[in-house]
């Protein structure tokens, strides 16, 4: 076994690898960019080496800086995590050439699976079922359109170098094909530097079921069962589970065998995942699953497999990489219980899942029987430089229903203030009836997106608590006397104070009356709500609201108050009249960058007449392409950015003037 390894990654996966390495007595070296000097993964590692500026291409993607860091610290092996250089065959080769061990498959295996078209051809030869479609070299738009016709719409255009759902477009009608092809190619070019695509039959009701495989250097390969990753939005996984609901033993062994055959075809070593798409228009069936691609690395969602199989996949990776045989054979592996993983992101589901940034001013994870994989701590900042993943919650129980109940509860107990998160979306999703009944499919989230993501108005209870907080009722509440903390106005007997609460999509005027020690009455329009502060402090206080007790956490910061109650998060912000947000919502004159990013395409020039909703500027931020549209009809008065410009958050990109005000 190695005595020291370097982890060429950041965030939760770097931390996760460090924990296992420590348990095995292996010393760890972290690498970090300038933006990550104080990041959790850096402080957890025994040593850490700075590898350059925040921008990933000059740090976490710099092969040569990472190899130099390993050499400088005497690390014997490099674990690439996922993302970044994990599936980069040139990197694996350079690591080996430097006399170090790459914790992963051989460069040749990575290459064989690196491009979706070649991988499909290889799998076809190995007798693994593949999705019908075109995966040849010809790329002329006219020819591809003919292929699409032959396959029959709807089709899916995929970047052959693709990953993470990038460069992928579903096309329903022939007339949309050319535009979608162009968009897919553009996205592929910018994300992967390769714009070649393949065309596949688009399956209408598919499930994404993948098989975890593992191989060693002695020609052994096993599978560690399946994961169902059908809950996706924009082709990215949201909640994963293992095993797959409704899976029969017959189908499991058919898929497992196909996956092991796939691994065998490329002499696979280490952890890998063979992704299949299953057509479930008539339920799961052993003759209707197709190979999509193989990921030659550890997956984000590997913890669900670890939970049901009772193994530590990173330990297996390190053992196999150091030359040991597979720790277990196929018949020593069995499924125990059910597991779910949910990915908590800094993003705003009610605004099209726009990635968010911010400082995690308050961060609490559920206690007890929930596995938390986090790369951040309270006080850390989610920056636009990297993936906005905050944490993964993994739960395990004897059966699906109990595991799902645990997941919901764990999500409800997770508290994040300082950035917008997808927690509420995940909670609603965990209760979505089709999913709860064990019928996930890749279209589920899109079909139900309104109910899953619509912004919720705070209820009366939340408004009442927020009003008391805003009136200063919680000030000094730690052991203090809230009555006294109400300040001078409590001297006037039944003192009361008007409060205006501002939340995401509105505001409420109310009046808080101090009725006595720890007792308030909050008047909201036509109703009045009695509220009594019971035991506890701000962090976890029991409050009786209109005769019903709840646990409430109140987090107050300079920009507002965040409440956590009844499994929900409510943010009330201090009103800033200069805030451009309301202007945009009201159809204002200025197009504002929602986050820092790169201006990729500018579709208008000064003086152009534009219509409300028309695409004006395409930005790339946080690994996502955002199309910014006109807030209203008008004429472009000034254009402040050009293609290739880097902009900061809230920068005014262009302004409009009304058409008649020439
Ligand atoms: P990426 O490598 O970008 O993640 P994949 O090929 O793994 O792309 O596909 C990602 C997701 O897209 C799948 O999990 C599935 O939901 C959807 N998908 C892929 N191929 C098809 C298809 N032929 N029909 C319908 N959906 C598909």
Residue nearest to atom 12 of ligand 1 (CA): 235
Residue nearest to atom 6 of ligand 1 (CA): 292
Instruction: Sketch out the chain's domains with CATH numbers.
Output: 4-103 (3.40.50.20), 132-201 (3.30.1490.20), 207-453 (3.30.470.20), 460-573 (3.30.700), 583-657 (2.40.50.100)
Q: Is 530 exposed, middle or buried (0-12, 13-18, 19+ CB in 10 A)?
A: middle
pLDDT tens for 360-416 read: 999 999 988 999 999 999 999 999 899 999 999 999 999 999 999 999 999 999 999
Per-residue confidence (pLDDT) for residue 580, from 0 to 100: 44
Per-residue confidence (pLDDT) for residue 479, from 0 to 100: 45
> 538 pLDDT band (50/70/90 cuts)?
confident
- What are the backbone angles phi and psi of residue 660, rounded to the nearest 5°? -85, -15
- The ligand 1 atom at the shortest distance from the C-alpha of residue 292 is 6
Q: Mean pLDDT across the stretch 548-557?
A: 93
The whole-angstrom separation of Cα 529 and Cα 460 is 8
Distance 610 CA to ligand 1 centre (A): 35
Q: Mean pLDDT across the stretch 301-319?
A: 98
Ligand 1: which of 119, 208, 280, 440 to mutate, most ligand atoms within 8 Å of CB?
A: 208
**How distant is the alpha carbon of residue 140 from its chain centre?**
35
Kindly tell me if the per-residue pLDDT of 586 is higher than 50: no
CB 655 within 8 A of CB 597: no
Distance 397 CA to ligand 1 centre (A): 29
Distance 448 CA to ligand 1 centre (A): 19
Per-residue confidence (pLDDT) for residue 368, from 0 to 100: 87
- The ligand 1 atom at the shortest distance from the C-alpha of residue 131 is 23
Q: Mean pLDDT across the stretch 466-478?
A: 77
Kindly tell me if the per-residue pLDDT of 316 is higher than 90: yes
Per-residue confidence (pLDDT) for residue 587, from 0 to 100: 53
Question: 223: closest CA among 138, 130, 316?
Answer: 316
User: 99-103, 130-134, 559-563: which has the minimum mean pLDDT?
Assistant: 559-563
- The ligand 1 atom at the shortest distance from the C-alpha of residue 275 is 7
Sign of CA dihedral 120, 124, 128, 129: positive
Question: 420: closest CA among 559, 277, 539, 520?
Answer: 559
Sign of CA dihedral 263, 292, 391, 550: negative
- The ligand 1 atom at the shortest distance from the C-alpha of residue 295 is 2
Question: 12: closest CA among 304, 375, 312, 342?
Answer: 375
Per-residue confidence (pLDDT) for residue 215, from 0 to 100: 98
> 288 pLDDT band (50/70/90 cuts)?
very high
Distance 165 CA to ligand 1 centre (A): 7
- The ligand 1 atom at the shortest distance from the C-alpha of residue 165 is 3
Q: How far is CA 443 from CA 83, 199, 204, 408, in A?
A: 25, 19, 8, 21
pLDDT tens for 267-281 read: 999 999 999 999 998
Per-residue confidence (pLDDT) for residue 661, from 0 to 100: 53
CB 597 within 8 A of CB 620: yes
> 576 pLDDT band (50/70/90 cuts)?
low
Give residue 358's region: left, alpha or beta (phi > 0; psi -120 to 50): left
DSSP secondary structure letter of residue 464: H
Ligand 1: which of 115, 168, 199, 231 to mutate, most ligand atoms within 8 Å of CB?
A: 168
Distance 166 CA to ligand 1 centre (A): 10
Per-residue confidence (pLDDT) for residue 486, from 0 to 100: 53
Distance 235 CA to ligand 1 centre (A): 6
Q: How far is CA 553 from CA 528, 539, 561, 634, in A?
A: 22, 5, 10, 46
Sign of CA dihedral 48, 49, 51, 53: positive
End-to-end alpha carbon distance in the chain: 75
pLDDT tens for 58-99 read: 999 999 999 999 999 999 999 999 999 999 999 999 999 999
Helices (H), 413-459: 423-430, 433-436, 444-447, 449-453
Sign of CA dihedral 554, 453, 425, 294: negative
Q: How far is CA 542 from CA 213, 283, 361, 409, 628, in A?
A: 48, 47, 22, 18, 44
| 582: helix, strand or coil | helix
Q: Mean pLDDT across the stretch 101-111?
A: 98
CB 273 within 8 A of CB 295: yes
CB 106 within 8 A of CB 269: yes
Kindly tell me if the per-residue pLDDT of 424 is higher than 70: yes
Catalytic center residues = 297
Ligand 1: which of 165, 198, 237, 301 to mutate, most ligand atoms within 8 Å of CB?
A: 165
pLDDT tens for 13-39 read: 999 999 999 999 999 999 999 999 999
Distance 277 CA to ligand 1 centre (A): 7
Per-residue confidence (pLDDT) for residue 592, from 0 to 100: 85
Distance 205 CA to ligand 1 centre (A): 12
Q: Mean pLDDT across the stretch 344-370?
A: 94
Residue nearest to atom 17 of ligand 1 (CA): 235
Residue nearest to atom 22 of ligand 1 (CA): 202
pLDDT tens for 157-209 read: 999 998 878 899 999 999 999 999 999 999 999 888 999 999 999 999 999 99
Element (H, E) at 182: helix 174-192
340 pairs with which residues across the strands? 241, 395
Q: How far is CA 94 from CA 3, 36, 62, 91, 339, in A?
A: 21, 25, 12, 5, 37
Q: Mean pLDDT across the stretch 529-550?
A: 91
Q: Mean pLDDT across the stretch 240-247?
A: 98
- The ligand 1 atom at the shortest distance from the C-alpha of residue 166 is 3
Task: Kindly report the three-state secondary structure assignment for every residue of 611-631.
Answer: CCCCEEEEEEECCEEEEEECC
The whole-angstrom separation of Cα 215 and Cα 260 is 9
Per-residue confidence (pLDDT) for residue 494, from 0 to 100: 62
Distance 170 CA to ligand 1 centre (A): 10
User: 41-50, 248-257, 550-559: which has the minimum mean pLDDT?
Assistant: 550-559
Per-residue confidence (pLDDT) for residue 487, from 0 to 100: 52
Distance 207 CA to ligand 1 centre (A): 10
Q: How far is CA 537 from CA 141, 470, 481, 499, 553, in A?
A: 65, 16, 11, 22, 8
Ligand 1: which of 130, 197, 240, 277 to mutate, most ligand atoms within 8 Å of CB?
A: 277
Per-residue confidence (pLDDT) for residue 619, from 0 to 100: 85
As for ligand 1, residues whose beta carbon falls within 6 Å of it are 131, 156, 158, 162-166, 168, 200-203, 206, 208, 232, 235, 275, 277, 292-293, 442
Selected residue with higher pLDDT from 650 and 448? 448
pLDDT tens for 609-639 read: 998 888 899 888 766 777 888 888 899 999 9
Q: Is 567 exposed, middle or buried (0-12, 13-18, 19+ CB in 10 A)?
A: middle
Which of 215-224, 604-613, 644-653 has maximum average pLDDT?
215-224
DSSP 34-85: GGGTT-HHHHHSSEEEE---SSGGGTTT-HHHHHHHHHHHT-SEEE--SSTT
User: 121-135, 386-400, 490-504, 527-541: which has the minimum mean pLDDT?
Assistant: 490-504
Per-residue confidence (pLDDT) for residue 19, from 0 to 100: 98
CB 305 within 8 A of CB 224: yes
The whole-angstrom separation of Cα 554 and Cα 538 is 5
> 493 pLDDT band (50/70/90 cuts)?
low
- The ligand 1 atom at the shortest distance from the C-alpha of residue 208 is 14
Per-residue confidence (pLDDT) for residue 583, from 0 to 100: 40
User: 334-343, 467-476, 601-610: which has the minimum mean pLDDT?
Assistant: 467-476
Q: Mean pLDDT across the stretch 227-255?
A: 96
Residue nearest to atom 1 of ligand 1 (CA): 163
- The ligand 1 atom at the shortest distance from the C-alpha of residue 201 is 23
The whole-angstrom separation of Cα 439 and Cα 433 is 9
Neighbours of 130 (CB within 10 A): 19
> 585 pLDDT band (50/70/90 cuts)?
very low
Per-residue confidence (pLDDT) for residue 478, from 0 to 100: 42
Neighbours of 371 (CB within 10 A): 17
Task: Kindly report the three-state secondary structure assignment for every residue of 303-367.
Answer: HHHHHHHCCCHHHHHHHHHCCCCCCCCHHHCCCCCEEEEEEEEEEEHHHCCEECCEECCEEECCC
CB 2 within 8 A of CB 26: yes
Per-residue confidence (pLDDT) for residue 163, from 0 to 100: 84
The whole-angstrom separation of Cα 356 and Cα 531 is 34
Per-residue confidence (pLDDT) for residue 597, from 0 to 100: 82
Question: 518: closest CA among 495, 501, 498, 543?
Answer: 543
Ligand 1: which of 300, 442, 443 to mutate, most ligand atoms within 8 Å of CB?
A: 442
The whole-angstrom separation of Cα 126 and Cα 132 is 16
């Amino acid at each position: 076994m190695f005595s020291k390894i370097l982890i060429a990654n950041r965030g939760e996966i770097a931390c996760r690898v460090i924990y296992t390495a420590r348990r095995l007595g292996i010393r760890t070296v972290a690498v970090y960019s300038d933006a990550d000097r104080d990041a959790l993964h850096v402080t957890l590692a025994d040593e850490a080496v700075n590898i350059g500026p925040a921008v990933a291409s000059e740090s976490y993607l710099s092969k040569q800086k990472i190899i130099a860091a390993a050499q400088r610290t005497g690390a014997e092996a490099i674990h690439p995590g996922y993302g970044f250089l994990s599936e980069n065959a040139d990197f694996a080769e350079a690591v080996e050439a430097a006399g170090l061990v790459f914790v992963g498959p051989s460069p040749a295996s990575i290459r064989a699976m690196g491009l979706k078209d070649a991988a499909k051809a290889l799998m076809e030869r190995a007798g693994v079922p593949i999705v019908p479609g075109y995966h040849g070299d010809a790329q002329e738009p006219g020819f591809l359109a003919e292929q699409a016709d032959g396959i029959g719409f709807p089709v899916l255009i995929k970047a052959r170098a693709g990953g993470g759902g990038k460069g992928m477009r579903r096309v329903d009608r022939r007339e949309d094909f050319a535009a979608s092809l162009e968009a897919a190619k553009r996205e592929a070019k910018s994300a992967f530097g390769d714009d070649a695509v393949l065309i596949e039959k688009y399956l209408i009701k598919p499930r994404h079921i993948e098989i975890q495989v593992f191989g060693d250097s002695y020609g052994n390969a096993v599978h560690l069962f399946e994961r169902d990753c059908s809950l996706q939005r924009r082709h990215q996984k949201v909640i994963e589970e293992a095993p797959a609901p409704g899976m029969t033993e017959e189908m499991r062994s058919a898929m497992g065998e196909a996956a092991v055959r796939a691994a065998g075809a490329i002499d696979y070593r280490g952890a890998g995942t063979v992704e299949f798409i299953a057509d479930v228009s008539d339920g799961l069936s052993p003759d209707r699953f197709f190979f999509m691609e193989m990921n030659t690395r550890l997956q984000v969602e590997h913890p669900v497999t670890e939970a049901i199989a009772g193994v530590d996949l990173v330990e297996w990776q390190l053992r196999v990489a150091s030359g040991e045989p597979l720790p277990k054979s196929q018949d020593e592996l069995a499924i125990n219980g059910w597991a779910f993983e949910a990915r908590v992101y800094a993003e705003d589901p009610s605004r099209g899942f726009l990635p968010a940034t911010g400082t995690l001013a308050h961060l609490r994870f559920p206690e007890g029987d929930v596995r938390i994989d986090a790369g951040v701590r309270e006080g850390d900042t989610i920056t636009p430089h990297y993936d906005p993943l905050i944490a993964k919650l993994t739960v395990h129980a004897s059966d699906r229903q109990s595991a799902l109940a645990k997941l919901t509860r764990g999500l409800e107990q997770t508290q994040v203030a300082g950035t917008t998160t997808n927690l509420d979306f995940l909670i609603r999703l965990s209760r979505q009836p089709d999913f709860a009944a064990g019928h996930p499919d890749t279209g589920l989230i899109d079909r139900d997106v309104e109910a899953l993501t619509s912004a919720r108005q705070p209820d009366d209870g939340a408004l009442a608590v927020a009003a008391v907080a805003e009136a200063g009722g919680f000030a000094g509440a730690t052991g203090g006397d809230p009555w006294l903390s109400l300040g001078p106005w409590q001297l006037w007997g039944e003192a009361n104070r008007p409060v205006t609460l501002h939340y995401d999509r509105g505001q409420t005027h109310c009046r808080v009356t101090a009725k006595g020690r720890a007792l308030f009455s909050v008047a909201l329009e036509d109703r009045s709500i009695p509220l009594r502060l019971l035991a506890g402090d701000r962090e976890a206080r029991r409050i009786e609201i209109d005769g019903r007790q709840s646990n409430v956490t109140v987090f107050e910061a300079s920009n507002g108050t965040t409440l956590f109650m009844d499994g929900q998060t409510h943010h009330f912000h201090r009103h800033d009249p200069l805030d451009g947000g309301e202007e945009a919502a009201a159809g204002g004159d200025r197009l504002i960058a929602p986050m820092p990013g790169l201006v990729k395409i500018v579709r208008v020039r000064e003086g152009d007449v534009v219509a409300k909703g028309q695409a004006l500027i395409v930005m790339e931020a946080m690994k996502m392409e955002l199309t910014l549209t006109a807030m209203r009809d008008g004429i472009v008065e000034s254009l402040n950015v050009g293609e290739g410009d880097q902009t900061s958050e809230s920068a005014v990109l262009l302004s409009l003037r009304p058409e008649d005000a020439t």
